[in-house]
A and B are shown apart, each in its own frame.
Chain A
Amino acid sequence: MNERKSAKSGSKMQLYDATPKHAALNRQIQDRIGQQLRAMYNDVVAQGIPDRFSELLKKLDEQVEDKNQAPQAEEER
């Protein structure tokens, strides 16, 4: 029902939907935008994690080790 409503109110925003030809064009443009967006995003994902994060995590691990050596107050069953 939401979809129906937004499709209706969205009709003003569809710039290229006036004719079937434009609708196809619109789809192509949107596909292209989607591709660009994913290419950009996936490129960053593929870069992995910069060194600063590995170093930070190492430091945090050391802190956790220290903490775990102290007796834990938390008792739960």
Chain B
Amino acid sequence: MANTRGSKDSERSVRDGILATLPSLRAFAISLSGNVDRADDLVQETLLRALANIDSFEPGTNLPAWLFTILRNLFRSEYRKRRREVEDNDGRFAETLKTHPEQNSRIEFEEFQQALAKLPADQREALILVGASGFSYEETAEICGCAVGTVKSRVNRARVKLAELLSIEGIDDFGPDQASRAVVAGSGR
């Protein structure tokens, strides 16, 4: 099935696929690390590794999952090395984002991002992959190298923990009223 002409074409299409996946890959890296510079380093390293190993990708299989796996593994091995360092969330992440009307306020958003950073890495990655990147539980299990049931329970625990961290006692506390109070309270800073 494989021939030299075909393999060159497919390499090109894999390459195009990698490019198309970069924005989402970067969003994953930023959500994982909470640090824009570090995330961009991770994406660059992932890109270089993917291009260097482009032959090992089987065309027709899940390209985004392949790329996310590379980035995830890079992040995790770096994370293990950095374990003893204190949280290095640089706060720049929130600054780079536009404030969406549906986000209510940047304060609320920053709180959310800080809460996300406090989750254990395995829960955080599972929640982002399923809840934002749009991967299925099965794909996420493949990316994280664990069982589907493990992914489900990590996502579950991540959601409960986030609700806890955000001290949500009632939906009103999490709605626009709270957001505008926070804006008023925060405007004096």
Taking Cβ atoms with an 8 Å cutoff, the residues of A that contact B are: 2-3, 5-6, 9-10, 13-16, 25-26, 28-30, 32-50, 52-53, 56-57, 60, 72, 74-77
Q: How far is the CB of A48 from chain B (nearest CB, A)?
A: 6
Cross-chain contact B22 with A38 (CB below 8 angstroms)? no
Taking Cβ atoms with an 8 Å cutoff, the residues of B that contact A are: 2-4, 7, 19, 22-24, 26-28, 30-31, 40, 43-44, 47-48, 51, 96-98, 100, 102-103, 108-109, 112-113, 116, 127-128, 131-133, 147-149, 152-153, 156-157, 159-160, 162-164, 166, 168, 170-171, 174
Q: Which residues of A contact B148 (CB under 8 A)?
A: 2
Chain B binding surface SS class: helix
Q: How far is the CB of A5 from chain B (nearest CB, A)?
A: 7
Measured between alpha carbons, how far is A69 from B43 in the docked complex, in Å?
29
Q: Which residues of A contact B28 (CB under 8 A)?
A: 41
- Sample 14 A-B pairs with CB under 8 A, ordered by A number: A2-B152, A13-B156, A15-B163, A26-B163, A29-B171, A30-B163, A35-B102, A36-B108, A37-B116, A41-B27, A41-B28, A41-B133, A53-B22, A56-B44
